[in-house]
Amino acid sequence: MKNIAILGSTGSIGTQALEVIENNPEHFNAEILTAGNNAELLIKQAIKFQPDTVVIANEDKYKEVSDALSAYPIKVFAGNKSVEQVTESSSIDLVLTAMVGFSGLLPTINAIKAKKDIALANKETLVVAGELISKLLKENQVNIFPVDSEHSAIFQSLTGEFQNEIEKIYLTASGGPFRKYSLEELKKVTKTQALKHPNWDMGAKITIDSATMMNKGFEAIEAKWLFDLKPEQIDIIVHPQSIIHSLVQFTDGSVKAQMGLPDMKLPIQYAFTYPHRIKTDFPRFNFSDYPELTFEKPDTEKFKTIEIAYEAMNRGGNIPCAVNAANEIVVDAFLKDQIKFTKIFEIIEKTVNKINFANRSDVDTYLNTDKEARIIAKELIK
């Protein structure tokens, strides 16, 4: 039995993680659940799974959650500090960080310092603070298990290969809903169109990141830190069918890939059970349903986010943090119909160009850079 803390239990990854727990009660227990604002769903989850503790980050909703759970033996806390502190609980075996964006950084740091193994679904943690997180993982002898399907695929392909040198990895991308759009067509893209991913069922923010291909740029940065790679060892290829989730090429030229139907519950479960696999009733891949698996280069002229991410990865320091902050602001603005789709690329680029470079890897630098970049991006939106 493994006791799991889910940071962000009401989001897309969090709800699917609870499905994995529900389907495997002999293996997993939902020990702690946290949510940002969705008090209603958090209450339902708490009543169903009976965790030891729940935390609602929005302090204004504490009374609502506390009153609803008063008849149950569940501890209720509120506030961002409580989300950070709850990861220290001695009963936790694994922390799933499924919070969206920069908000996942401090709770993940606290969990690592508390020597908790991490199932990482919050790619922004390594995008923003990869150098610091890598250092803390070594200092505290903590394991990190990737939950993103692409990084899980690399991780699975490396099982039994850790002594062998990686020549290159290939992160596959669906290409999103606008893969074949022209630049002129991209200017007319609506929020409704952007929220319709061709293969994956995800939350709003990551779905927009997929449409802009920023998620793939972030995944490249994340892969650098997860697998100790140089930027030139990381390639992105568009694979519209989303069956091959990523590939590893070794120095002898051989390539290993992990395949399967697009379903986030599989990488979530693998992160929970590593190094073991347990039986599932997930739909099985059938080769006859996919007579063609195709690959193509991403169009970086249309999707400048990839170049922005690689430039940030090469520059290092606080630049990836600034890219992430600007991206969070522009995605939110697009979802609120405040900017056009193509403005996302433009504002991120302009924001990064205005940021003061800092080659330091401490929390204060990241917090200050995040704040500065958000202010700049908001000014550029006006």
Residue 184 lies in a domain: no
Look at residue 357 in the predicted model and tell me its pLDDT: 95
Look at residue 103 in the predicted model and tell me its pLDDT: 87
Residue 132 lies in a domain: yes
- Token digits for 250? 């070794």
3-state class (DSSP) for residue 132: helix
Residue 214 lies in a domain: no
How many Å apart are CA 236 and CA 295, to the nearest integer? 10
Range of the domain at 40: 2-142
Closest CA to 53 of 99, 97, 85: 85
How many Å apart are CA 380 and CA 312, to the nearest integer? 20
Look at residue 199 in the predicted model and tell me its pLDDT: 72
pLDDT tens track for 107-133: 999 999 999 999 999 989 999 999 999
Residue 247 lies in a domain: no
- Token digits for 190? 């609506």
How many Å apart are CA 200 and CA 176, to the nearest integer? 10
Residue 118 lies in a domain: yes
Residue 76 lies in a domain: yes
Residue 341 and residue 334 in contact, taking contact as beta carbons nearer than 8 Å: yes
Look at residue 102 in the predicted model and tell me its pLDDT: 87
Look at residue 25 in the predicted model and tell me its pLDDT: 96
Look at residue 330 in the predicted model and tell me its pLDDT: 97
The CATH number given to whatever domain includes residue 121 is 3.40.50.720
Enumerate residue ranges in the chain where pLDDT < 50. Answer: none
* DSSP one-letter code for 339: S
Residue 379 lies in a domain: no
pTM of the model: 0.93
Closest CA to 7 of 90, 66, 82: 82
Look at residue 206 in the predicted model and tell me its pLDDT: 87
Look at the chain and report how many structural domains it folds into: 1
| Pairing state between β 244-250 and 255-259 | antiparallel
Residue 87 lies in a domain: yes
